[in-house]
Amino acid sequence: MQPMNVDLSGQSALVTGAGRGIGRAIGSALASAGARVFLAARTTDQLESAAREIQQNGGTAVPVPTDLSKEKDIQSLFQRISDRAGGLDILVNNAGVGVFGPLAEFSSSDFDRLMQVNTKAVFLCCRQALRLMIPRRTGYIINISSVVGFKGYPNQVAYTASKHAVMGLTKSLAVEAQEHGIRVSAVLPGGVDTKMIAEARPDLDPKILLQPEDIAHTVLYLLSLSDRAAVDQIYIRRRGSQPF
């Protein structure tokens, strides 16, 4: 269900990490608002399931299996978007992995994996999107960060570092892109009922968590704003948690 009247008819959108959880909810919301949505993730069956669900509800979705840890896969993804849609209006960088544990026992390979998917893939997708958006002087890039983009929790040092990096990228890109008519925002969710939060915070009762649809509605809110408005970041937390 859409929380507001947002008309994205004629626009093309890319959502990464779109096979499940937050990304799947965002893809569905964008399609319900009329966008042609490209869904990217590594797991083919999840992507195809998400695309079928959108199509059964009357939307347009194109699943594109993509390993976001590989630059060549990302280049191929954006080439397909360019070939099929002629450009890109909306990019939602949602894909991410979570590996947790005390720093003293954390492996270098896990740190590299986190930075590759959570940070470098965002950089690469933003770069490719800009190459499509700048000539048209329009577009919106929304990076899904996390509450750990400004807060710290034990056993999440590497994950937190990757999300802080996303925030630094987002803040600088927002300044750089605005001269081209492109807006850039970050959404920083608190605890959302996903597989990742179950692994990171098994102490939290799923009943008190945000739902993926809450984050999708936040993305639609950003896209509903007029060209006069620019939002740098939105921190959406579960009710009852500590603010900032």
Please check whether residue 163 lies inside any domain of the structure: yes
Please check whether residue 44 lies inside any domain of the structure: yes
Would you state the structure tokens that stand for residue 60, as one six-digit string? 């347009």
pLDDT of the residue at 203: 72
Strand partners, 36: 12, 60
Q: What is the number of structural domains in the chain?
A: 1
Residue 91 sits in which domain range?
12-236
Please check whether residue 243 lies inside any domain of the structure: no
Q: Render pLDDT for 131-184 as a digit per residue (tens, 0 to 9).
A: 999 999 999 999 999 988 988 888 999 999 999 999 999 999 999 999 999 999
Q: Which of 97, 77, 226 is CA-nearest to residue 166?
A: 97
Q: Render pLDDT for 86-101 as a digit per residue (tens, 0 to 9).
A: 999 999 999 999 889 9
Beta carbons of 190 and 212 less than 8 angstroms apart: no
Report phi then psi at 157, rounded to 5: -60, -50
Q: Render pLDDT for 14-55 as a digit per residue (tens, 0 to 9).
A: 999 999 999 999 999 999 999 999 999 999 999 999 999 999
Q: If DSSP codes are grouped into helix, strand and coil, which group holds residue 36?
A: strand
Please check whether residue 48 lies inside any domain of the structure: yes
Provide, rounded to the nearest whole percent, the portion of the chain with pLDDT above 70.
91
21-32 and 44-56 helices cross at what angle (nearest 10)? Answer: 30
Q: Which of 40, 41, 37, 19 is CA-nearest to residue 29?
A: 37
Beta carbons of 94 and 26 less than 8 angstroms apart: yes
Beta carbons of 24 and 57 less than 8 angstroms apart: no
CATH code, domain with 231: 3.40.50.720
Catalytic annotation present for 159: yes
For residue 48, the tally of other CB atoms under 10 A from its CB is 15
Please check whether residue 144 lies inside any domain of the structure: yes
Please check whether residue 7 lies inside any domain of the structure: no
Mean pLDDT of 207-228: 90
Report phi then psi at 192, rounded to 5: -115, 140
| Catalytic residue (choose from 140, 153, 159, 221) | 159
pLDDT of the residue at 71: 97
